[in-house]
Amino acid sequence: MHMRNILILVTFLFTYVTTVIAAPSLIPAPPRVNAKAYLLIDHNSGHILAEHNADKQVEPASLTKLMTAYIVLFEIERGGISLEDKVKISEKAWRMGGSRMFINVNSYVSVEELLKGLIVQSGNDASVALAEHIAGSESAFVELMNQHAERLNLISTHFNNSTGWPDKNHYTTARDLARLSQAIINDFPEHYAWYKIKKYTYNNITQPNRNRLLWLDDRVDGLKTGHTKAAGYCLISSAKQNNMRLISVVTGTNKDSARIAASRKLLNYGFRFFETNLIHKANTEITNMRIWKGEQEQLSLGITKDLYITVPKGLSRKIKNNIKVEAMIEAPVAKGKSYGQLNVVLGDKQLVTQELVALSSIKEGGIWRKLSDYIQLMFQ
Bridge partners, residue 364, by sequence = 294
Of the residues 36, 45, 116, 122, only one is catalytic, namely 122
How many whole angstroms separate alpha carbon 26 and alpha carbon 273? Answer: 9
Q: How far is CA 7 from CA 4, 10, 17, 19, 125, in A?
A: 5, 5, 15, 18, 76
Question: What per-residue confidence (pLDDT) applies to 293?
Answer: 77
Q: According to the model, what pLDDT value does residue 20 have? A: 35
pLDDT at 135: 97
pLDDT tens sequence across 252-291: 999 999 999 999 999 999 999 999 999 999 999 999 988 8
At 319, the amino acid letter reads: I
62 given a catalytic annotation: yes
The single residue of 62, 162, 237, 263 carrying the catalytic annotation is 62
pTM above 0.85, yes or no: yes
pLDDT tens sequence across 352-370: 999 999 999 988 766 766 5
Give burial (CB, 10 Å; 0-12/13-18/19+) of 22. exposed
The predicted pLDDT at position 371 comes to: 63
Kindly list the structural domains of the chain, giving each domain's residue range(s) and its CATH number in brackets, ordered by start.
Answer: 37-275 (3.40.710.10), 281-379 (2.60.410.10)
pLDDT, position 322: 94
Among residues 65, 116, 224, 265, which one is catalytic?
A: 65
Average pLDDT on 153-163 reads 98
In the residue annotation, 224 being an active-site residue is answered as no
Percent residues over pLDDT 70 in the chain: 90
Closest CA to 72 of 159, 150, 135: 135
Assess whether 122 carries a catalytic annotation: yes
- Residues 123 and 179: their CA atoms lie apart, in Å, by 23
Beta strands, E only, 24-127: 37-42, 48-52, 86-88, 108-110
User: Would you say residue 65 has pLDDT above 90?
Assistant: yes
